[in-house]
Chain A
Amino acid sequence: MKTTGLTLAAIGLTGFTLGVSARDQAPFITLASTTSTEASGLFDAIIPPFTETTGIEVRVVAVGTGQAFEIARRGDADSLLVHDTVGEERFVEGGYGSERADVMVNDFVLIGPGGDPAGISEAESVAEAMQLIAEAEAPFASRGDDSGTHRAELRLWQAAGVEPEGEWYRELGSGMGPTLNTAAGMDAYVMADRATWVAFENPQDLELLFEGDEALFNPYGSVLIDPERHPHLKHDLAAQWHAWLLSDEGQAAIADFEVKGQQLFFPNARPD
């Protein structure tokens, strides 16, 4: 009968599909992390040596930092690697995380149209650069997605004493890459993490216009999830990943990662 054949086919296919996850015998953890680490290619460089050493696979779900926290809060990821120190500490204090450690830093840069209509490349500090953009009312593309980069950008506006609002300030509600694509399309200024910017392939007229201020420092932290709140998670495996990131081997793998000849992440784990 046709129906029987269909049923069998469907059951077979479903089993096959569901089996994709079961077939992998290797132990794995799910890591919630940010788009900047994924899009720059960092994970392709540091996960294989970790897997080789420990036999543990790392499955990366790359989302905005806000969503990464939410995934971890609900118990859907075994570990977090994000860049929002304030948020990470609050996550631990709130009883969701059991441990947090510095892993590496990269930095934010200000990108804008090559002509630099607001003249920010001459600015002395990032605060001055942001004031110049606001005064010129030059289009500025903001992530607007509650990500680590978005939160950092809002702190910089505050430090510059500027209320970012008006037609020139455009909240896109997108990841870093889509925001760069949009900024390139409308010749807007945009704040990006250096890793995504260097790896980005569609700059059109955009150029790096301001960099180097200490306020643009972008630290990444690894956070372990509280075992009492979510006992089902793979805490042992996650702890191995956390320890490896902070180990000499992990830190060296981060330092060795380059895109177009540039080192993008600088390890800064503090030895105990």
Chain B
Amino acid sequence: MSDDPNAFQTALALILGRDPDLIGIVTLSLQVSLSAVLIAALIALPLGAALALWRFPGRGALIVMLNALMGLPPVVAGLAVYLLLSRAGPLGEFGLLFTPGAMVIAQVILVLPIIAALTRQQVEELHGDYREQLASLGVSRARRIPTLLWDARFGLTTVMLAGFGRASAEVGAVMIVGGNIDGVTRVMTTAIVLETSKGNLPLALGLGMVLLALVALVNAAAHLVGETAQRRLG
């Protein structure tokens, strides 16, 4: 591919040039996707753990549904959020459409099933090992949730990173609910789509490399924190 060195140079120039537009786009991408992952985690971690601990009718169906929702097409999530937030929709009066807030909401919907489903699986395995011990100590199920989540924290970091990967990579949802407005809702993925449509392929690919580097950086940071914590705990 003759575009390769060109795109690579473009990516380097983008990073070294510290273009203020690019910095704005990168910052917004991180803000939106990290917020979405944190909000989704707050709901999904306890939800996944609860699903691992309690047995109730319809539990199997709920787990299957959660697993299936991991494959929810971003464009469908975007369309649903668009219809909700549109002025003609039920939540229209908040005026959230075409704002970063709308993009966070759409990404929460995409990330939540991933974190909940994978947490359920991890906690269930862990609980299998600890069940008797916890039962003999007379720890109630509700009290077991924070203990188990804390014990599974290293595995759950990877789960959250999977959620972050999904959020930062998707374009279908943020394009519809954000509108790709210059300086307001333009993020890395929608900027890549725009440059591709202009036929500016080296710049589009260059932006793609910057996005990849960014995701790698977030992953490296999480890895480092995990390593340090693990070493300190021995």
Q: Give every chain A residue within 8 A of B41 (Cβ-Cβ).
A: 6, 10
Is B141 at the interface (CB under 8 A from chain A)? no
Q: How far is the CA of A10 from the CA of B40 in the complex (A)?
A: 10
Shortest CB distance B11–A (Å): 17
Q: Judging by beta carbons under 8 Å apart, are A201 and B180 in contact?
A: no
Q: Once the chains bind, are B197 and A39 in contact (CB under 8 Å)? A: yes
Using Cβ atoms and an 8 Å threshold, which residues of chain B touch A14?
A: 35, 38-39, 104
**Residues of A at under 8 Å CB distance from B?**
2-3, 6-7, 9-10, 13-14, 16-18, 20-21, 24, 30, 35, 38-39, 43-44, 59-63, 74-76, 175-178, 180-181, 199-203, 230, 232
Please list 30 pairs of residues, one from A and one from B, whose beta carbons are closer than 8 Å in the complex, sorted by A's number.
Answer: A2-B150, A2-B153, A6-B38, A6-B41, A10-B35, A13-B35, A17-B101, A18-B101, A20-B184, A21-B99, A30-B181, A39-B194, A39-B198, A44-B182, A59-B181, A60-B181, A60-B182, A61-B180, A76-B86, A76-B98, A175-B197, A176-B197, A177-B198, A178-B197, A180-B199, A181-B196, A201-B199, A232-B87, A232-B93, A232-B95
A223 to B150, CA, bound (A): 57
User: Are the C-beta atoms of B31 and A13 separated by less than 8 Å?
Assistant: yes
B113 to A: closest C-beta gap in Å: 18
Q: Contacts A10-B38, A232-B93 known; list 11 others, CB within 8 Å.
A: A16-B31, A16-B35, A17-B104, A18-B99, A18-B100, A59-B98, A59-B179, A60-B181, A60-B182, A180-B199, A201-B199
B66 close to A (CB within 8 Å)? no
Q: Interface residues of B: mostly helix, strand, loop or mixed?
A: helix
Q: Is B9 an interface residue (CB 8 A)?
A: no
- Verify if B139 is at the interface (C-beta below 8 Å from A): no
Given A21, A76, A177, which contacts B197 in the complex, CB threshold below 8 Å? A177
A14 to B88, CA, bound (A): 25
B87 and A74 form a contact (CB under 8 A): yes
How far, in angstroms, from A17 to B101 measured CA to CA in the complex? 7
- Asked if B42 and A76 make an inter-chain contact with CB atoms under 8 angstroms apart, the answer reads no
Whole-angstrom distance between the Cβ of A201 and the nearest chain B Cβ = 4
A62 to B32, CA, bound (A): 21
Give the distance to chain A from B19, nearest Cβ to Cβ, in Å: 15
Given A3-B146, A201-B201, A75:B88 Cβ within 8 A: yes
| Chain B residues in the interface with A (C-beta under 8 A) | 28, 31-32, 34-35, 38-39, 41-42, 86-89, 92-93, 95, 97-101, 104, 146, 150, 153, 179-182, 184, 194, 196-201
- Chain B contacts for A2, CB-based, 8 A: 150, 153
Shortest CB distance A266–B (Å): 22
With the chains together, A178 CA to B171 CA distance in Å? 15
Residues of A within 8 A of B197 (CB): 35, 39, 175-178, 181
Kindly list chain B residues whose C-beta atoms are within 8 Å of the C-beta of A24. 184
- Interchain residue pairs A-B with the least CB separation, the first 6: A177-B197, A202-B199, A75-B87, A61-B179, A10-B38, A201-B199
- Say how far B143's CB is from chain A's closest CB, in angstroms: 14
Q: Are B99 and A61 in contact (CB under 8 A)?
A: no
**B32 CB, nearest partner CB in chain A, Å:** 6
Residues of chain B with a CB closer than 8 A to A175's CB:
197
Known A-B contacts A6-B41, A7-B42, A62-B180; A200 and B31 likewise in contact (beta carbons under 8 Å): no
